[in-house]
Structure 1
Amino acid sequence: MIKLIASDMDGTLLDLELNITQENINAIRYAEAHGIEFMVATGRNRAEALPPLEKAGINCAMITLNGAHVFDKEGNSLFTTPLDKSEVFQIFDILDEHGIYYEISTQIGTFTNSKESRIEHFTTHIIDAFPHLTQKAAIAMTVAHLEFFPVDVAPDLRELVKQPNTEILKVICFDKRGPEFLGPAAKEIAKFEDCVVTSSGANNIEINHKHAQKGIAVSHVAKERNIDLENVMTIGDNLNDLSMIQVAGVSFAMGNAVVELHEEAKYVTHENMNSGVGKAIVRAIDENL
């Protein structure tokens, strides 16, 4: 019997307008009525994850930054898994050499060295994630994103990393040239002993500590709650969801998921625009998956 459900957000729980549909909300309530805990596991930081959840009236624990920072439902920080700073500087060297834009997420927020570059590259990421949008609409969404979830500007990210109290939880990179240019840098970084490289879209890569993965975080949360992984359900759509798809006893790939998730997940549900999360939850409960 399922006792814990962990769902990705972008491309999964959220629809094309970045909201949680009523069908998804109803299914989460249905799960809670059956004594099943629902939580999100996202690449977003907590500040970015909160608004759509609060709008939907959902208060839950969160795995954020791909597993690098975990919070309980009251918003208390449970643990962080930061990158090794010596490797962070090497990562910067590689990204600079390849001319790739990047920003860093820390325990106190996300930082860029250029808000203009952030808008340019994040717009490309939005278009990749939501191909129905026009360039103008994508730019508007990016600017709105910055208004609601401000990114701090640090002209020299290396100096920020040097600060003794700063934890680097994720390095996220965007490049409109896509995998052809991101791939070589990703391969170099993946060779580092303590790094794992994932992606949440064709035009980005995300770098975390090898122990900061959604699957590891889900396993940790389940252990803390004395829940066997066979009684855990996970739902996702992209490569940064792969580790939690692989560890769960019940796993769903979204209909819009990448091929790798379709190959690894035990089940496939509908697309995010058609409340695939809600349909998966109801199916799992009603069929006792």
Structure 2
Amino acid sequence: MVKLIVSDMDGTLLNEKMQISIANASAIREAEKRGIPFVVATGRGYTEAKPLLEEVELNCPIITLNGAQVYDEHGTILKTAGIDKATARKILTIIRENNLYCEITTGKGIFSDNRAKRIESVASLLFETNPDTTYKMAVVLAAARLEIMNIHYIDNYDKLIEDETIDVLKIIAFSQDGAKTLNPISAELNMIGDLAITSSFENNIEINHIEAQKGIAVRELADRMDIDLEDVMTFGDNINDLSMLEITGYSFAMENGAEEAKRVARYLTSSNSENGVAEGISLIFNDRLEEKLNVN
């Protein structure tokens, strides 16, 4: 019996326009009316995720930055698992040596040192995941969506790292070459130790503390709510979702998801552009889960 629903955002709850569809929002509200709490588990920071939920009048706990921070529905921080400054410096050195653009999420928000690169990285994401969208339109959509997010633009990350009042929670690096460039860098970063290296799209790697994982955060929230993991429904599409898909009883991979997600999920659902989250939730209401059982 499903007692808790947890969903990733990008590529899962968000559609091709980086919005929560009316269908998905309605299904979530119906679940809540039936006494099933809803939680978001995202690689985004709080200031990136919260406005997208507010657009459709949803208010729920949010697991952010792959589990580096967890917030209750009132915006109170329940957990923080950051990267120590010495490790952050090592990560930045490797990223710079490979000439990659990166962003740093901290306890005081998200920081970028290049606005154009940030728009380019989001536009590439939209273009690659939505074949019907031209790159020019993807740039327009990316710029428009980023306007509602609280991003801090700075000239240099070194001062940010040196600031002892700021906690580094996640570093995300981008490459349009995808795995060809990012896999060797991931291997090098793993040599540092005590890091969780994941990905939410083919063009990025997301670097967190080893304790900052969605699966760990979901387990802790479920324990707090006195809910067994076998009674938790999760939705995800990529590598940073694996840790929660692997441990929950009703795990769903999106049709548009990475093969790794599809291999570990117990069920499959439609793509993010076809309201896959709403479809999965409706299955539990109508006792039709067997229709989407993953037979791979």
- After superposition, give the CA deviation of every residue in 1:89-144 in whole Å (9 maximum; x if it has no partner): 11111111111111100011111122233233333233223333212112112222
Q: Say whether 1:287 aligns with 2:287.
A: yes
Give 1:213 shift. 0.7
CA distance change for structure 1 residues 122 and 21 in 2, over 3 Å: closer, same or farther?
closer
Question: 2:190 & 2:235 partners in 1: Cα distance?
Answer: 25
Question: 2:113 & 2:20 partners in 1: Cα distance?
Answer: 32
Out of 127-136 and 161-170, give the one that drifted further. 127-136
Alignment match, 1:182: 182
Question: 1:113 & 1:55 partners in 2: Cα distance?
Answer: 28
Give 1:45 shift. 1.1
Give 1:52 shift. 2.5
Q: Matched residue pairs, number?
A: 289
Question: 1:167 & 1:228 partners in 2: Cα distance?
Answer: 32
- After superposition, give the CA deviation of every residue in 1:206-237 in whole Å (9 maximum; x if it has no partner): 11111101111101101111111111111011
Q: Say whether 1:251 aligns with 2:251.
A: yes
Alignment match, 1:5: 5
SS across alignment from 2:144:
helix
Out of 68-77 and 46-55, give the one that drifted further. 46-55
Letter in 1 for 2:157: L
| 1:100/1:175 contact within 8 Å kept | yes
| 1:270/1:279 contact within 8 Å kept | yes
Alignment match, 1:141: 141
Q: Say whether 1:123 aligns with 2:92.
A: no
Letter in 2 for 1:96: R
Question: 1:198 & 1:131 partners in 2: Cα distance?
Answer: 24
CA distance change for structure 1 residues 52 and 150 in 2, over 3 Å: closer, same or farther?
closer
Letter in 1 for 2:269: T
Out of 61-70 and 115-124, give the one that drifted further. 115-124
SS across alignment from 1:155:
coil
Give 1:44 shift. 1.1
SS across alignment from 1:40:
strand
Give 1:288 shift. 8.2
Question: 1:180 & 1:131 partners in 2: Cα distance?
Answer: 22
Give the RMSD, CA atoms, in angstroms: 1.5
- After superposition, give the CA deviation of every residue in 1:20-78 in whole Å (9 maximum; x if it has no partner): 22222222122112211011111111121122311212111101111111111111111
Alignment match, 1:74: 74
| 1:254/1:276 contact within 8 Å kept | yes
Question: 1:82 & 1:231 partners in 2: Cα distance?
Answer: 29
Question: 2:153 & 2:25 partners in 1: Cα distance?
Answer: 35
- After superposition, give the CA deviation of every residue in 1:239-264 in whole Å (9 maximum; x if it has no partner): 11111101111100011111111110
Alignment match, 2:219: 219
Mapping of residues 233-252 of structure 1, within 5 Å: 233-252=233-252
Question: 1:270 & 1:115 partners in 2: Cα distance?
Answer: 33
Letter in 2 for 1:181: T
Identical aligned residues as a percent: 43
| 2:12/2:235 contact within 8 Å kept | yes
SS across alignment from 1:192:
coil
Question: 2:123 & 2:35 partners in 1: Cα distance?
Answer: 40
- After superposition, give the CA deviation of every residue in 1:133-190 in whole Å (9 maximum; x if it has no partner): 2121121122223322142122221221111121111101111122111111111112
Question: 1:126 & 1:89 partners in 2: Cα distance?
Answer: 30
| 2:20/2:53 contact within 8 Å kept | yes
| 2:18/2:145 contact within 8 Å kept | no
What TM-score do the two structures reach when normalised by structure 2? Answer: 0.93
| 2:48/2:150 contact within 8 Å kept | no
Question: 1:261 & 1:70 partners in 2: Cα distance?
Answer: 23
Alignment match, 2:109: 109
Q: Say whether 1:167 aligns with 2:179.
A: no
What TM-score do the two structures reach when normalised by structure 1? Answer: 0.95
